[in-house]
Chains A and B, each alone.
Chain A
């Protein structure tokens, strides 16, 4: 176990693949900057890989004061044990107080392994992070300047704030798109600290036999208008209505988790806490009840139209325009009205 270090840095795991940084560590860097400024400490970024030194400048531009670079051929391709071993060694040496990872598939494979090895706490899929105080009524102790790890729980019906009082570093994962991406400052200066990997073959138990990229079918984060369908659409065939409305508006198509799980639309189109977080100018929610986990993924949309037969559906709580009605009737009327105006 690692002694809590209140002077420790705020670290972000700089997830990269094939020499490109993922977007999520850059989003996390902006938030890490704010947390660190509040604590009066530095921001560090962990950069593991092979021939990845050019990425260090990028991380500095997004807010890192120090980049801990571990560059080694054995780290060229990610696998759990090698990356976890290096990270845990770095944690023991430099004792950060906070470590943030993107809640990508890689992050969700790596973070729990690190947390277990370091015997520290980890909270998954945080939707917000703040610094605050905590009073433990059982131990009758007060803790100051803890990382408040905020996330929906219990099917999205509660918002839980989680703290880790003394099994540090305080680790958390955050999904892509949850923290806004701030523009980088190309004039920012920072330090690169180079560390050896110190790995042996038994640290790489997996042989990667094949690896394939599936091109992403849709870029929801870039869409200005999104038409989303939920369980209320009823079937994969009927999702055609969502596509038709999207075509009429030049919009992207999305689905709630219920629609994706039911096979109406692919996972690439999923919006919500466990999908993509979006902030379009207009979000049209069709047959979506609006559970907190879905709302977490779209409630920052500039305008929201909700279409649902149930007037009590929670989606109406965040809608700007609400239509209580059957999407099978409403969507064709909307398409007609749009075409009449163009």
Chain B
């Protein structure tokens, strides 16, 4: 039968690996020092799409919204088995909160064509909001099944899935199209395939080609650079290695709902956590030291 899956993915700073090296001397975070990774639960989302295609046939399109560096996750998606990848990139999208992001992504989903399933990771490790998936579903006017942890079954135009309720689980059924958000428990993402890496590591988006031409021919005339960019893009397209790239006009986004000014929520203040000692009682990890601490805790009735 074949199902058309669209997977929404995000490149995020690796917030789980903030070590001393990522901290500046004044105790603030050095963002530039953080490696960028494929948001972990988006890998689970992609894996689900690939499993659906393996089981039932169909097509997997991966979309990401971000700066040009986000092309890394699109290549990664190709290495793992995606059929088509799209970068939505536009400076006017900068500063988007979840509402603005969901507006942009839902326009992109519509623009890429028909779909049966939109699949997202439950949440991204930088924002941790879990809002973009459900907000996209609302804008696309489709039902959502969040916290999918297992048991996705498709039959004709219906889908069944098991979702986590926190204190339990439920199995739901609905008609396509639908949006799913997927947790880390749902599956184990397959690794990149060596053959696909060999083929796709040369894949580039137009903006990356522009940067490469700029580096290769910095002294050339603008016209010459432009011609070179077109030539290289055409060559990549011919070989199936051109990552699609859209801006907000391409996808028909309403600029009033994009970027900072399209975002209802704004940052009022940021306080970086500058760690200062408050002073603790240092206990030596010896029998004597520990016995003393236990004695004190019993004396003040903290422990029985």
A contacts, CB < 8 Å to B? 79-81, 84, 104-106, 108-109, 111-113, 115-117, 119-125, 132, 134, 136, 138, 146, 148-149, 153-167, 205-214, 216, 225, 249-250, 258, 261, 274, 281-282, 291-292, 302-303, 305-307, 312, 314, 316-326, 329-330, 333-334, 336-338, 340-342
- Return chain A residues, CB-CB under 8 Å to B129: 112, 122-125
A157–B97 CB distance below 8 A: no
Cα A230 to Cα B135 with chains together (Å): 34
Cα A120 to Cα B264 with chains together (Å): 6
- Return chain A residues, CB-CB under 8 Å to B283: 321-323
B interface: dominant SS: mixed
- Return chain B residues, CB-CB under 8 Å to A337: 287, 290-291, 293-294
B285–A155 CB distance below 8 A: no
Q: List 7 A-B contacts (CB under 8 A).
A: A112-B132, A164-B264, A206-B172, A214-B169, A317-B275, A321-B281, A324-B285
A124–B264 CB distance below 8 A: no
Q: A80-B134, A306-B280 are in contact. Are A158 and B98 (CB under 8 A)?
A: no
A112–B130 CB distance below 8 A: yes
B285–A333 CB distance below 8 A: yes
B contacts, CB < 8 Å to A? 13, 15-16, 18, 20, 29, 31, 97-99, 102, 125-135, 137-139, 143-147, 160, 164-175, 184, 260, 263-273, 275-278, 280-287, 289-291, 293-295, 297-298, 302-304
* Interface-central residue, B145, B283, B284, by most chain A CB under 10 Å: B283
B293–A305 CB distance below 8 A: yes
Shortest beta-carbon distance from B173 to chain A in Å: 5
B270–A282 CB distance below 8 A: no
Give the A-B contact count at a CB cut-off of 8 A. Answer: 238
- Return chain A residues, CB-CB under 8 Å to B282: 322-324
A interface: dominant SS: mixed
Shortest beta-carbon distance from B139 to chain A in Å: 6
A206–B128 CB distance below 8 A: no
Q: A116-B102, A121-B264, A206-B143 are in contact. Are A341 and B131 (CB under 8 A)?
A: no
B168–A158 CB distance below 8 A: no
Closest to A134 in B: B268
B131–A325 CB distance below 8 A: no
Cα A155 to Cα B260 with chains together (Å): 22
Closest to B304 in A: A250
Cα A108 to Cα B135 with chains together (Å): 11
- Return chain A residues, CB-CB under 8 Å to B160: 209
B170–A212 CB distance below 8 A: yes
- Return chain A residues, CB-CB under 8 Å to B264: 119-122, 164, 166-167
A157–B18 CB distance below 8 A: yes
Closest to A84 in B: B138
Q: A105-B147, A338-B294 are in contact. Are A157 and B272 (CB under 8 A)?
A: yes
Q: A105-B164, A163-B268, A312-B20 are in contact. Are A125 and B276 (CB under 8 A)?
A: no
B280–A316 CB distance below 8 A: yes
Q: A115-B131, A154-B29, A318-B278 are in contact. Are A206 and B145 (CB under 8 A)?
A: yes
A121–B281 CB distance below 8 A: no
Cα A154 to Cα B294 with chains together (Å): 37
B171–A210 CB distance below 8 A: yes
A116–B302 CB distance below 8 A: no
B135–A205 CB distance below 8 A: no
- Return chain A residues, CB-CB under 8 Å to B271: 158-159, 161
Q: A124-B129, A164-B265 are in contact. Are A158 and B171 (CB under 8 A)?
A: no
Going nearest first, the 4 A-B pairs with the smallest beta carbon separation are: A155-B15, A325-B285, A121-B264, A167-B264
Closest to A302 in B: B302
- Return chain A residues, CB-CB under 8 Å to B291: 337, 340
B266–A80 CB distance below 8 A: no
